[in-house]
Copies of this chain bind each other. A is one copy, B any other.
Amino acid sequence: MQTVSENLAFGGLQGVYTHASDACACDMTFGLFLPEIAQAGPVPVLWYLSGLTCTHENAMVKAGAQAFAARHGMAVVFPDTSPRGPHVADDPAYDLGQGAGFYVDATQEPWAANYGMWDYVSDELPTLLNEHFAVDPTRQSITGHSMGGHGALTLAMGLPGRFASVSAFAPIANPTASDWGRKQLTAYLGKDEAAWAAHDATLLIRARGFDGPVLVDQGGKDQFLDLLKPESLSHAMAARRQAGIFRMQPGYDHSYFFVATFMGDHMAFHAQALGL
């Protein structure tokens, strides 16, 4: 593992690190914020999964999470959204290939060789963090924006017992029924839709729910409402009697201004679930 940069921020350390990934068969870069109190011992960790076109960096510099993470005493990890590199399969569209991993383990060509994002985020990167940093693997929560909200919700439900809480900002909520989903799930997982069900938050809520609190924020003027399908998730949460909160925020769009506006609420929500 190599250190790309380390900046003091809010009394803690905002680092960026690169390492050779087995899951993605390429070098992967991630951001990690460690609050000052991590110097005294392992702290709970919040996973922040980013959206289409993002790298590890966008949320790290624009979402404003560190101020709250420092206050609550939790780490925040910002993984990249896909494998990267000239030898990694890609597509000219912004919503497939590099920058658009969708947090699945691809089984189809040409993606299978590198696109192991579920494996990377659920197994390889946690192991690396636990080895090298003062984070407590028994106290984890997860959040994300857009495609990353999809990833947060599906990982939370796909790994029961792993996360104390899950939240999402404008998640791709029902990808098996959306052009942000059907295209990518077909490409990465093949045409058999049975393989898609584990990667659709609405279907997962219906089928099993999440054993902890859920918080979802959605902007009422999001330019991608038709692709995100928040009403499907909201319906599923209520029908399931899922412990959680779904908030429609009038006037907000899909930008990081929306994410930053409600970041404090999400961090407080996770802090409470993590016993901070």
Contacts and interface: CB of A to CB of B under 8 A. Distances in A.
Interface of A: 7-11, 14, 61-62, 64, 66-67, 219, 221, 251-253, 255-258, 260-261, 264
Contacts of A219: 8
B261 A9 contact: yes
Contacts of A261: 8-11, 67
Nearest to A60: B257
Contacts of A62: 61-62
A257 B60 CA distance: 10
Nearest to A255: B7
A157 to B, nearest CB: 30
A14 B258 CA distance: 11
Stoichiometry, as copies per complex, reads 2
Given A7-B257, A260-B9, A64 B67 contact: yes
Given A8-B221, A9-B257, A9-B258, 12 more contacts: A7-B253, A7-B257, A8-B253, A8-B261, A9-B260, A10-B261, A61-B256, A64-B67, A64-B260, A66-B257, A66-B260, A67-B261
Contacts of A257: 7-10, 14, 66
B67 A260 contact: yes
A252 B6 CA distance: 10
Given A14-B257, A257-B14, A252 B8 contact: yes
A255 B8 CA distance: 9
Contacts of A11: 261
12 contacts: A7-B253, A7-B258, A8-B251, A8-B252, A8-B253, A8-B261, A9-B261, A10-B260, A62-B62, A64-B260, A66-B260, A67-B260
